[in-house]
Structure 1
Amino acid sequence: MLLEVNTENSPSQPMASTSTSSSVVTLNVGGELFQTTAGTLSRAGASSPLASLAPSSPNAPHFLDRDPRLFALILSFLRCGRLASPPPSSALLAEARHFALDGALLASLSPPSAFSPLSLRPAALLPLTGRVAPSVVAISPSPCTASLVAAHGGAVTSFDAALASRASVLTPLPTVDSLVAVSPALALAGARDFPGVHLCRFLGDAAATASEALSWQDSPSASVLSLATTAASEAASQWLFASFESARRNSSAVVAFDLNSLSPVVEIGRKEVFGADVEAAIPPTKLGWLAGHSLLLAAGSHSGPAGMVGDIRLWDVRASSTVPVWEVREKEDCFADVAASDSLSALFKVGAASGEVFMADLRRLSGDGSGVEPWVCIGDEQRAGAATASRRKDGNNCRVECYRSWVFVTRGADVEVWSQVELTSEAGKKKAMRKNWLGNGPSMITAGSVDGMVEKAKIVSWAFGGSRMALARVDQRSIEVWDSASGAISVNL
């Protein structure tokens, strides 16, 4: 059974509270006085000694023989649901464990380095209001605890790092196809065939809004979004990459926006349709940023009478916005999905016909890719060849995503993970990619009652951040959260 988290808090109450008491609790922590409420301390969880502290006066404070600097951070975290300081240190995590903070709180403080795919287990089920199932989820890359956002219909709901609902906002979009969580206070939403990139702001006590939009002067629609941190001139700035297509579908381009000024920076890879050649301007439907290589991945596909055709391009936006550093046209076993891994210096795709996973080494890619087969099948090569020859569609609905040093693939309701292993311990020897299943594999059941278990539904969207993975499943009005942080889960699942 999953832990179902109550998400009925008001926007002014960012984290779940088990008490409405406003009685003041005074604490002497290592010689420094702190004042808070019993309600704030109760957010540490029922098993935490902080939750049992009764109201006290400044003349008779509770004494805790701990570091006041670390306690100040924990108290701030309990108050607002996120850290205002740099990423959590090992000392802060140790202090949080000392005070036996609730499992969701501990998990939200865990850095990405605590992520272990084979230790992922279902941790919480976050119900969403309304009658529409979620279409897409995203987790912010914030270094001070990652927040989660989910789109259901035209609404976007934000959960703080402790998995308590902060607020929901209704966008002008009938449904959201693409979602980026920039920070705990800002998310961006886009949809195919509808104008602009809509900014969803979640500002604590203030009402959530979605009244602003980013647009491209030649196009009313934004089909896919990607957040990236890249170098602009000598200063670092945060860029949002959005793929646009014109209303008449006769041109497309990727546009970079500076998130500080919310203004367009550069138009990348503009394509025009000439005559009936609709394949001349296939808009990218998958964007990815490789910070270590300063490359933008842009990929899109088109299904026509002759089958599926797709383009994959890598752009060095510092060098040129019109000529990619590498591109390839996919025809034989076009990709169902493609992703880039900074850590592994590679591209990965799932074949639309075969459903098998392929890998391309970034260090060996250059030019237009003509005459060179960049892909190496890391799955069943014989099966891939047979499926391609018979023009099967085994890769339908498969998705691939890279997070840190792992590659994840969805197959219906299940997730497989690929990791790189050394064939021998000797220096200079080859490495190989090996596959595992998350949890207990395809037979694992993650929802339902004890008497009437329900098989998992197909995954429609997923996201990674910190030590967590979030999943949206078809026809389920909730978000499934898996976590791998050590000691993070404090309930029986």
Structure 2
Amino acid sequence: MASAAAVVALNVGGELFQTTTATLSRAGASSPLASLGPSSPSAPHFLDGDPLLFAQLLSFLRHGRLLAHPPPSAALLAEARHFALDGALLASLSPASAFAPLSLRPSALLPLTGRVAPSAVAVCPSPPHPASLVAAHGRVVTCFDAALSTRTSVLTPLPAVDSLLAVSPALALAGARDFPGVHLCRFSDEAPAAAAAVPKVLSWPGSPSATVLSMATTGAPSAPWLFASFESVRRNSSAMVAFDLNSFSPVAEIGRKEVFGADVEAAIPATKLGWLGEHNLLLAAGSHSSPGGVVGDIRLWDIRASATVPVWEVREKEDCFADVAASDTLSAIFKVGAASGEVFMADLRRLGNGGGIGLEPWVCIGNGQRAAAAASSRRKEGNGCKIECCCNWVFVARGADVEVWSQVELAPEAGGKKVMKRNWVGSGPSMEVGAGEEAIKEKAKIVSWAFGGSRMVLTRADQRSVEVWDSAPAAICANT
């Protein structure tokens, strides 16, 4: 129980509140609430505010979350901003600790302006930032705050954004095919100070910087780097470039490739990048389609050791990947076979070093017989499938549906081994095709997705909106 000396009495808009200095200190040093000392009901501190809204903020300080289901109202956010609590309030709305894949349900549908369907979506890393989300539609990049109640849009010079990366709630990076450099999208004056001192386009002098194919970031506060994959307009050279996100200056060029003659398979550019922080490895994967089939390269780079030779590499031919992702916590690389659509896993701890083409690293965690039959008959059942890793889970998008793979431990009598198990999350809302009696409900294909905080966000083909799935079930609603 708090001592009498720790009790603080507050007069907010004529209504009396009593709390403790410990509770008010949770507002943070930037909030005027944290500096209020003990006071009695006969001589309370006076605060100019709305007592109904302040009651919700005080409850938030006590419990660390809003007891009512988010998003908060615009009025509550304004009141939180008045007391310098808006950052903490927004950060609490989608905490990563609340992420529960099997509880994901559609919670909001965010319409986008214009006539162009979104081409890419990204979620701001959380923590330390609130888990805001960013969507690209045509030449426009739109940012929604963590409460999904405020949006800010910027117009880019890009004809259409192909790759998107959220750095903070105030800054995103965008790239497009056949358009040079990585473009900075600033949504407010709160973007990192260094961003104001650099050009709006990031590139490496002399590098094939005409096309940005993919981007990834280390996410480490001590050494935040951005990795971007570039390809020249003539498709005869490619490279990855690392930028320091503190200064926005280029640091190193990685894995430069040149095409000589017609041997395009010798220099397949990376169209998927990922960072394995626990292993200090950069994943780079790309594929090439030809009349003879699909061929792909997957490489792991330790840029502390070499920027020209990968520590591990595998050439994909039999059942090349439709998509690939890496998991730090599971110490593995996962892929969806382009031919079979089955999920495969490669244990990082068993991969060889030295930069050579390794032995077959993949273990099918799906239907192995079906995968072998599909590969031998050169089917294309995995085309368009997407795969992404988040914490201890692996997500796969198949058309309109989402499935999640989780690691489970077998019973002790079975040796205590860990295996991957498939679970279904669902497909979410459907769209109506046709009119009148001929109208049918159809699930639209997922074209891009991202994970952050307790949310999964995705976009679907020909739908001018962003779908938000949250671990806390809620009826889907339109946010205007």
- Category of TM-score, reference length = shorter chain: 0.7 to 0.9
Determine if the alignment matches structure 1 residue 250 to structure 2 residue 219: no
Is the 2:109–2:476 Cα contact (8 Å) retained in structure 1? no
Deviations 1:4-28 (A, max 9, x none): xxxxxxxxxxxxxxxxxxxxxxxxx
Is the 1:348–1:360 Cα contact (8 Å) retained in structure 2? yes
In structure 2, the partner of 1:182 is 167
Is the 1:180–1:226 Cα contact (8 Å) retained in structure 2? yes
Letter in 1 for 2:200: E
Determine if the alignment matches structure 1 residue 290 to structure 2 residue 281: no
Structure-to-structure mapping, 1:132-151, within 5 angstroms: 132-143=116-127, 144-151=129-136
% of aligned pairs identical? 67
Q: Would the alpha carbon gap of residues 426 and 322 (structure 1) be closer, same or farther in structure 2, given more than 3 Å must change?
A: farther
Q: Would the alpha carbon gap of residues 34 and 166 (structure 1) be closer, same or farther in structure 2, given more than 3 Å must change?
A: farther
In structure 2, the partner of 1:394 is 381
Deviations 1:325-370 (A, max 9, x none): 1001100100000000001000000001111000000000013564
Is the 2:94–2:146 Cα contact (8 Å) retained in structure 1? no
Q: Would the alpha carbon gap of residues 491 and 245 (structure 1) be closer, same or farther in structure 2, given more than 3 Å must change?
A: closer
Letter in 2 for 1:474: A
Deviations 1:432-481 (A, max 9, x none): 1110111xx35x545679x9884321000000000000010111111000
Q: Secondary structure at the match of 1:395?
A: coil
Determine if the alignment matches structure 1 residue 127 to structure 2 residue 81: no
Output the CA distance in 1 between the equivalents of 2:182 and 2:389: 24
In structure 2, the partner of 1:225 is 215
In structure 1, the partner of 2:409 is 422
Deviations 1:201-257 (A, max 9, x none): 111699x999701012232222211121359xxxx2210000011222211111000
Residue segments in structure 1 that go unaligned for 5+ positions in a row? 1-28, 36-55, 78-89
Letter in 2 for 1:280: A
Output the CA distance in 1 between the equivalents of 2:9 and 2:117: 48
Q: Would the alpha carbon gap of residues 406 and 204 (structure 1) be closer, same or farther in structure 2, given more than 3 Å must change?
A: same
In structure 2, the partner of 1:260 is 246
Q: Secondary structure at the match of 1:229?
A: coil
Q: Would the alpha carbon gap of residues 308 and 32 (structure 1) be closer, same or farther in structure 2, given more than 3 Å must change?
A: farther
Is the 1:225–1:241 Cα contact (8 Å) retained in structure 2? yes
Is the 1:257–1:264 Cα contact (8 Å) retained in structure 2? yes
Aligned length: 418
Is the 1:103–1:489 Cα contact (8 Å) retained in structure 2? no
Letter in 2 for 1:223: L
Letter in 2 for 1:436: N
Question: In angstroms, what is the RMSD of aligned CA positions?
Answer: 3.1
Give the superposition deviation at 1:97.
3.5
Give the superposition deviation at 1:373.
1.0
Output the CA distance in 2 between the equivalents of 1:246 and 1:131: 30
Residue segments in structure 2 that go unaligned for 5+ positions in a row? 1-5, 34-58, 73-88
Give the superposition deviation at 1:284.
0.1
Structure-to-structure mapping, 1:296-307, within 5 angstroms: 296-307=282-293
Structure-to-structure mapping, 1:430-441, within 5 angstroms: 430-438=417-425, 441=426
Structure-to-structure mapping, 1:393-412, within 5 angstroms: 393-412=380-399
Output the CA distance in 1 between the equivalents of 2:105 and 2:148: 16
In structure 2, the partner of 1:198 is 183
Is the 2:351–2:358 Cα contact (8 Å) retained in structure 1? no
Q: Would the alpha carbon gap of residues 371 and 72 (structure 1) be closer, same or farther in structure 2, given more than 3 Å must change?
A: closer
Is the 2:96–2:126 Cα contact (8 Å) retained in structure 1? no
Out of 63, 76, 89, the residue aligned to residue 94 of structure 1 is 63
Is the 2:213–2:229 Cα contact (8 Å) retained in structure 1? yes
Structure-to-structure mapping, 1:317-332, within 5 angstroms: 317-332=303-318
Out of 156, 161, 184, the residue aligned to residue 146 of structure 2 is 161
In structure 2, the partner of 1:278 is 264
Determine if the alignment matches structure 1 residue 113 to structure 2 residue 113: no
